[in-house]
Structures are given as C-alpha cells and as structure tokens.
Amino acid sequence: MSVPEKFRGPTTSIDDQIESFAINRVPANLRWPIPAISLVLLGNATAMFFFSFGAQQAFLVGWPEMLGPIAYFFIGSVLIGMLTMRMASREGLSQNLLSRGLGFGSRGAAVTSFIYAVNYVFYFLFEGTIVSHAIAEYFKVDINSIAGIGIFAVVGLVTLLLVRRGMHAMSFLQSWGFPVFLILLGWGLYKMFTEHTPVGVDGWHATGATGSVAIWSAFSLANGQMIFQGLMATDYGRFASRNVRYRGTAGIMLGELIPMFVVIFLGAFIGITLLTELHGPNAQSNAQDPGFMFVSLMGGVSVVFAVITQIRINVMNLYGGSIALSSGFDVAANFRPGRQYWTYLVWILGVVFYAFNVINHLGTFLAITGVLTNTWVLIILADSFVCRRWMKLGRSENIEFEPHEVRSWNPCGLTSLGLAVAVGALGIGGVYPVYYASFISMLLGPILHVAFTAGTKGRYYRPVQADEAASHSQSALT
C-alpha cells in the first residue's frame, strides 16, 4: 500500500458513504487504514473547545497543579479508547449498536443512544457558538440578537452540506483543513509574541482560591472529557481492521491526543497572556473564549481561522449525533429515514439551544453528561471484559445487536445505570459536592451491573423466545 493510500478510505458506493453503516456492521472489506482514521480524528483533536479547556484548567488551579488532571485525562483517554475501539473494530459496530448486546437490550440501548446524541448536540452548539462569537465580535454584532442567531445558523448550514458523505467527506476535509489550521494558528502565535507580552508557566496562577475543591473541580472537568474522547473515537475505530491489536488502537488514540494536548497547553498559554491585559467583570470569561481569544490576536484573520476550525470539528459532531440518532430511532420507533437526515435534527436543536443561551449552563451540562456517559461506557466495558470474557456468561465475539437477537430491555444494564445516575444526581443537586458525582456513578454502575448479570447468570442476554425454548426443553427432559 502506497503512502497516499494509507491516508484514504476504501472505495465504496455513494449510498454506503452516506449511510456510513449507522445501523449495520462495517463489512470486513471496507475497513480503513489506521493513518486514514487518525487523519479524520485530527478534526476533533484541534477543536476550539480545547483552547477553552486549557485556559479553564489554568485559571482553576494554575501551574503545575493543572498537570494532574491533564495527565489523568490523557492516560485515561488512551486506556478507554484503546479498549472500546478494539471492541468496536472486532465487531464492526458503533457503541450504540454494541450497547444492545452489552447489557442494555435493543430498546434500552436506544435510551443510551439518545444520551450520546445530546453530547453531540451540545458540542455542536459549543463549537458553533465560538465561531459565531468570533464573527460577531469582529463585526460588532450583538451575539444574542437575531443577527447573532443567524450567523450561528448559516455557518451550521455550511457544515451540514459537508457531512453528507460521512467518513469520506471528513477525510477530504481534514486533508486540507489541518494544514490551513496550522498556518493560521502559527500566524496567531506570531502576533501574540510580537504584539503582546507572553506569560510563561511561572506566571500561570489560579485566579481564585486553590485547594482540594479547586483540584477536584479540575479533575471533574477532565473526567467527563476522558471518557467522551475514548467513546467518540470508537465511532471511527469501528472502521479499523478487525485484526487490529490494542497497540494499533492505542496508536490511533495517541495520534488524536498528542495534538489535542498541544492545543490544551496553547489555550492555557494564550488565555493567561490575554488575562493580564483585560479588565472588568468579563475579563476571565473572555480570556477563555476562543472566539474572543483569536479576534484579540489576529483581527479579521481570526474569522477565517474560527470558521475553518469550527467546520472541521462540527462535521464530526453532526456525524456522531446522526449515528447515535439513527441507532436510537431504528429500534425506538422503527424509523429509518437515513443517517444524513438526522444531521438536520442536530443542526435544528443547536440553533434552538443557541437562541435560548443554553451554552451559559456549560458547567451543569458537563456534570450531567459526565454522570450519564461515563457510567454507560464503563458498564459496557464491564459487560464485555468481565461478564462475557472472564465470567463466560455470554459470547465474547459476534456480539448480538439485531433486535431479534436480544431482549428489548435488559434490566441489568438499565437498572445499574439508573441507580448509579440517581446517586450522581444527588451530587448535582447539592447533597454532596458535585465534583464527586461522575466519579461515584462511573464506579458504582459497572459494579452493580456485574453483580446483577452474575446473579441472573446472563439470562437477559438471550431474547425471550430463547428463554422459553430452553424452559420447554428443560421441562421435556424432566
């Protein structure tokens, strides 16, 4: 295979490109080379969100304390992504389809698919908000006005047009978008060094009180991202060869995470530098808003930079959201309009949420999704590696996912998720510190699931018909 071929996906029909195997296995002959998957994931690695994330960590705990949560994020993402991607590549299934067999049942997995889709709607909103703020800041438009909402909607529509052909469209977009991103980022850094006074790590101080509360809050922010990055990579890792080893899936994660963490540290660097020059009640929020950040550094060029960067990541958010919604509605309502049409729903919800300033509740959202998503993913991993492989309660390969192969509802996974989320909700509601919530729920959920599945001897892996047949056979024998 030539070098250019390693960065391209296989030739497929237009229909397969559009549908992107949202509700089916990826055929073995249509798998992608690892470099080609890594190229697609560069769009997520260089998302504007991570500039903001880096600045938040610096403002929250400063240097060197921020290295703790960031290292946790990095190591945890590699481990989670390595495991989930290997599982997805072996089966050729998305996480949504895997959930049907791994503890939730077909309709139960629809619930988790909708949870997953909400993540993508919010990240689509977040990235779109950044570029809208950059354009509005440059042209002096009120971000909450009709014109501000219109900017968000129009840029989102442009993104919508580029995601129709799934992985192939994203591969093409990243192949030229990433070099442009690097050139414009380099220009922004040049402007910062020549027109501002850069602040080195010795000047990266927390803006508020430090201590255990700040540290736990920083780890809580990292915890939500740690699981989600490994989970999101699985949507693309299912296209890897069925024979890829853990070394290969870890390599895909490292290819995504290394540039991502460069962006995180640049976000801290730029945010702290700008904060020393800003004044007023909105100084910190502006310094961690990439829309304001790059307008301050680059002027009009920042608009081009923000638009290109936003499109590169939001095609991935639209794609991931459409995969989750396709799987969810496939069994929840037996409704299959086509994956590409679900991208419109993600866009519509993003516009509505932007109009109602849902972005102002970022902290609450991250806490809630941290509880829901983290618990769900670790239940799936516990089911695959503990219940099926170690305890031999179900088959460990060719995981069941068709509705006739699984129960509609598997009470083991659903009950575990419900109880763990309820405990996490107590933290979000203030009964105990919210920064503990995602950690407690993500540990409790898989423990309960293993206990329930072991207690029922894997009975709920089998569809009802299989249980009845086994019961009749046993009755005949006795």
Single-letter code of the amino acid located at 73? F
Q: Would you state the pLDDT for residue 41?
A: 86
pLDDT tier, 167 (very low <50, low <70, confident <90, very high otherwise): confident
Percent of the chain with pLDDT over 70: 95
Quick check: 220 and 367 in contact, CB under 8 A?
Answer: yes
- The DSSP secondary structure of 266-306, one letter per residue, reads HHHHHHHHHHTT--STTHHHHHT-HHHHHHHHHTTHHHHHH
Task: For residue 420, give the H/E element and its range.
Answer: helix 411-428
Mean pLDDT on 150-172 = 84
For the stretch 305-350, pLDDT in tens is 888 887 888 888 898 888 999 988 888 878 888 888 899 999 999 9
What global pTM score does this model have? 0.88
pLDDT tier, 390 (very low <50, low <70, confident <90, very high otherwise): very high
Q: State the average pLDDT for the chain.
A: 86
Q: How many residues does the chain have?
A: 478
Hey, is 173 helix, strand or coil? helix
Residue with tokens 């309960």: 448
For the stretch 437-453, pLDDT in tens is 989 999 999 999 999 99
Quick check: 393 and 461 in contact, CB under 8 A?
Answer: yes
pLDDT tier, 166 (very low <50, low <70, confident <90, very high otherwise): confident
- Asked if residue 410 has pLDDT above 60, the reply is yes
Q: Which two tokens stand for residue 113?
A: 């698919």
pLDDT tier, 78 (very low <50, low <70, confident <90, very high otherwise): very high
pLDDT tier, 299 (very low <50, low <70, confident <90, very high otherwise): confident
Catalogue all structural domains in the chain, each as residue range(s) with its CATH number: 29-466 (1.10.4160.10)
- Asked if residue 477 has pLDDT above 50, the reply is no
For the stretch 111-150, pLDDT in tens is 889 888 888 888 888 888 888 877 887 888 887 788 888 9
CA dist list (Å): 13 to 19, 168, 248, 318: 10, 11, 27, 21
Quick check: 379 and 445 in contact, CB under 8 A?
Answer: yes
- The DSSP secondary structure of 113-150, one letter per residue, reads HHHHHHHHHHHHHHHHHHHHHHHHHHHT--TTSHHHHH
Q: Would you state the pLDDT for residue 359?
A: 66
What is the Cα–Cα distance from 233 to 84, expressed in whole angstroms? 9
Q: Which two tokens stand for residue 225?
A: 């991202």
Report the Cα–Cα distance between both ends of the chain, in Å, rounded.
Answer: 61
- Asked if residue 243 has pLDDT above 50, the reply is yes
* 212 burial via Cβ count (<10 Å: 0-12, 13-18, 19+): exposed
Report the candidate in 125, 20, 135 with the shortest Cα–Cα distance to residue 353. Answer: 125
For the stretch 36-72, pLDDT in tens is 888 888 888 888 889 989 999 999 999 999 999 999 9
Cis before 64 (ω within 30)? yes
Q: Would you state the pLDDT for residue 49?
A: 85
Q: Would you state the pLDDT for residue 61?
A: 94
